[in-house]
Amino acid sequence: MAKGADVIVNGWNPPYSKWAAQLPELTAQVIAAARGSRATVMQPANVYVYGFREAMPAIVGPDVPQRATNPLGRLRIDMERRFREADIQVILLRGGDFLDDQPSAGWFDRIIAKDWAKGKLVYPGALDRPHAWAYLPDMTAALPRLAEMRRELGQFTDLTFSGYTLTGQELAEACGAALGRRMEISSMSWLPIQLARPFWAEAKHLLEMRYLWDQPHRVDGSALATILPDLPKTPTEQALRRALQVQIDPDQPVVGSGGNR
What would the pLDDT profile of 166-183 be if each residue is shown by its tens digit? 999 999 999 999 999 999
CB 93 within 8 A of CB 142: yes
- Whether 155 has a pLDDT exceeding 70, the answer reads yes
| Alpha carbons 107 and 207: distance in angstroms, whole number | 13
Average pLDDT over residues 82-111: 94
Find all residues with CB under 8 Å of 16, minimum gap 6, and list them: 72, 202, 205, 206, 209, 256, 260
Q: Percent of the chain, pLDDT > 70?
A: 94
Buried/exposed 219-240: b ≥16 CB within 10 Å, e otherwise: bbbebbeeebeebebbebbebb
Backbone φ and ψ of 208, nearest 5°: -60, -40
CB 58 within 8 A of CB 217: yes
Average pLDDT, the chain: 92
CA-to-CA dists, residue 56 to 6, 38, 67, 199, 236, angstroms: 36, 36, 8, 30, 25
pLDDT value, residue 250: 43
Low-confidence winner among 17-26, 111-120, 249-258 (lowest mean pLDDT)? 249-258
Average pLDDT over residues 201-223: 97
- Whether 13 has a pLDDT exceeding 90, the answer reads no
CB 104 within 8 A of CB 55: no
Condensed to tens digits (0 to 9), the pLDDT of residues 223-258 reads 999 999 999 999 999 999 999 987 544 444 444 444
> pLDDT tier at 219 (50, 70, 90 boundaries)?
very high
CB 56 within 8 A of CB 212: yes
pLDDT value, residue 255: 47
List of long-range contacts for 145-153, beta carbons under 8 Å, 24+ apart: 145/228, 145/231, 146/42, 146/91, 146/93, 146/227, 146/228, 147/6, 147/7, 147/40, 147/42, 147/91, 149/227, 150/7, 150/40, 150/89, 150/91, 153/89, 153/91
Q: Percent of the chain, pLDDT > 90?
A: 87
pTM above 0.75, yes or no: yes
- Whether 125 has a pLDDT exceeding 60, the answer reads yes
